[in-house]
Amino acid sequence: MDTAFIRPRDREEVVRNAVWKSMVAVDIDHGPAAEDISVRIGLGAAGPIRMCSARATAVTLRRTERLAREDEEPAVTLGVQMTGSSVVVQNGRECLLRPGEFAVYESIAPYTHLFDEGVDYRFIRFPRAALALPDRLLRDITAVPLGSDNPVARLAFTYFSQLAGTDELHQGVHADAVVEPSIELLRAVLTSQHGNASLARAPLEATLSLRITHYLREHLADPDLSPARIAAAHGISVRHLYAVLSRSGITLGDWIRTRRLAECRRELAGPNGRLRTIAAIGRRWGFVDATHFSRVFKQTYGISPRSWRDQNHPRSSA
């Protein structure tokens, strides 16, 4: 996206929509007047990791209390300073980032990111669950400059700056190949900076429930999403799976069914709600039996799938 091809009066809104949809919801205050705003954004993804390479005129990004509370999927953003400088403020800390340095900040807590000199930056967003690090460590490490004093961080700077800026790494087998190494490298940086590499192991159990629910969302439409498959994906027994979810107040079958029904309800009411049969939409979200799907939909929402679709897509009379 390049604002050079966008009318000045539309630039702020276009930039806001691009950032919100691709990365994170933040309030954006541009330094210059609308006609002088210049923003160039390159977007990419590798599996669950989202990336943004940005150059722009001066701007301030604010993740407010309200936006942080509304976060549906907690994430950790890695910010890589390419040239110039910027300031990150979160969890009572303020850090100045210079070229060759980076910092992390969490989506579940308010933060401010100031680019008074303009932007030449890489944003890389990781699902918090994928990092499997304890809350305390992440709180301690946010808004801390990472770079010259940490050899692991120096190595990581080169890696992550290239990862976010190389389109070929966001496609096909290349994208699949970089997901796990990227997660493990960031884990290594954060735990080594914290001074206790053993912390990288203990949180695997502490964050197991979070990682399981993330896995469930990723595979919600799979008809074979069974307890055995979920447990195997996390290297635990089915019994341990149920115990972990129970401690978080989650009943596995109810959790999956509720979210599958919500997706069906959304799709039936959406703009393409009549392009597929009701049974096909149910199958798409794991309901292989059309009769059972209609029954549980009506039990949950008090209306049949057909009536719900007709209510949102009335047929025009001849």
40-61 confidence digits (pLDDT tens): 999 888 889 999 999 999 999 9
Is 184 a residue whose pLDDT tops 90? no
Q: Compute the average pLDDT of residues 163-190.
A: 83
Q: Note if the pTM is more than 0.85.
A: no
- With 0-12 / 13-18 / 19 or more C-beta atoms within 10 angstroms meaning exposed / middle / buried, residue 236 is middle
DSSP state letter for 198? G
Residue 130 Cα distances to 160, 176, 212, 243, 246, angstroms: 17, 15, 10, 21, 21
Give the mean model confidence (pLDDT) for residues 151-173: 84
Residue 198 reports pLDDT greater than 60: no
Which segments of the chain are extended strands (E)?
27-30, 39-46, 49-56, 59-63, 75-81, 86-90, 93-97, 102-106, 111-115, 119-127
Give which of 111, 86, 80 is closest to 31, Cα–Cα.
Answer: 86
Please give the average per-residue pLDDT across 240-246, as a whole number.
Answer: 90
Burial (0-12, 13-18, 19+ Cβ within 10 Å), 311: exposed
Distances (CA, A) of 120 to 82, 157, 251, 253, 274: 6, 14, 46, 46, 45
Which of 38-47, 196-205, 245-254 is predicted with the least confidence, judged by mean pLDDT? 196-205
Q: Is 33 helix (H, G, I), strand (E, B) or coil?
A: coil
CA distance 76 to 137: 12
Kindly tell me if the per-residue pLDDT of 257 is higher than 80.
yes
Residue 173 has pLDDT above 80, yes or no: no
What span, in angstroms and rounded, lies between the C-alpha atoms of 79 and 103?
5
Statement: residue 318 has pLDDT above 50 = no
Instruction: Give me the mean pLDDT over the 299-303 stretch.
Output: 93
Q: What is the mean pLDDT of the chain?
A: 88
Q: Which residue has the higher pLDDT, 53 or 150?
A: 53
What local confidence, expressed as pLDDT, does residue 197 receive? 53
Structure tokens at 117: 């000199």
Residue 94 clears pLDDT 60, i.e. is over it = yes
Q: What is the pLDDT of residue 261?
A: 94
C-alpha span between 145 and 153 (Å, rounded): 10
What pLDDT is attached to residue 200? 47
Residue 22 confidence (pLDDT) above 80: yes
* pLDDT of res. 64: 94
> Is the confidence at residue 148, as pLDDT, over 60?
yes
Q: How many CB atoms lie within 10 A of CB 288?
A: 10
At residue 120, the pLDDT reads: 94
Six token digits for residue 37: 């705003």
- Under DSSP, the state recorded for 110 is -
DSSP 155: H
Distance CA 285, CA 305 (A): 14
- Please say if the pLDDT value at position 152 is more than 80: yes
Arithmetic mean of pLDDT, 166-180: 80
- pLDDT tens digit sequence for 56-66: 999 999 999 99
pLDDT of residue 188: 85
